Amino acid sequence: MPTRGPVRADGGLGIPLPSLPRVTPQLAVPAALGCAALQLRAIAFHLFRPETDVASNAALLLLAAVVARGRPTAVPVPGRT
């Protein structure tokens, strides 16, 4: 999987960066959903192999889900007007 590194970097930067200048804060939710999808695939990958340590992937999945759920409702960032 040669795209794993760029996807992680894009997701890691895509969650906080759109909200910082308040230009496009609505892009944080799709970035968090992409990170969650990446972690789901990572968990499946590790479980299909004889590796059982998926705690870090589960923690990152939980964090991405919290951001995806909480950004538009609990802690909305208003766009610049």
List pLDDT tens digits, range 32-64.
Answer: 888 899 899 989 999 999 888 889 889 989 988
* 9 within a domain of the structure (yes/no): no
* 17 within a domain of the structure (yes/no): no
* 80 within a domain of the structure (yes/no): no
* 15 within a domain of the structure (yes/no): no
**Residue 41 identity:** R
**Which domain does 48 fall in, by range?**
27-74
* 66 within a domain of the structure (yes/no): yes
What count of other Cβ atoms lies within 10 Å of the Cβ of residue 69?
12
Domain count, the chain: 1
pLDDT tens, residue by residue, 3-36? 566 656 666 666 776 667 766 777 778 888 888 9
Encoding tokens for residue 49?
């192999």
The tally of CA atoms less than 13 A away on the side-chain side of residue 73 is 6
Would the pLDDT of 79 be above 70? no
pLDDT at position 6 is 62
* 16 within a domain of the structure (yes/no): no
* 70 within a domain of the structure (yes/no): yes
Helix and strand numbers (H, E) in the chain are 3, 0
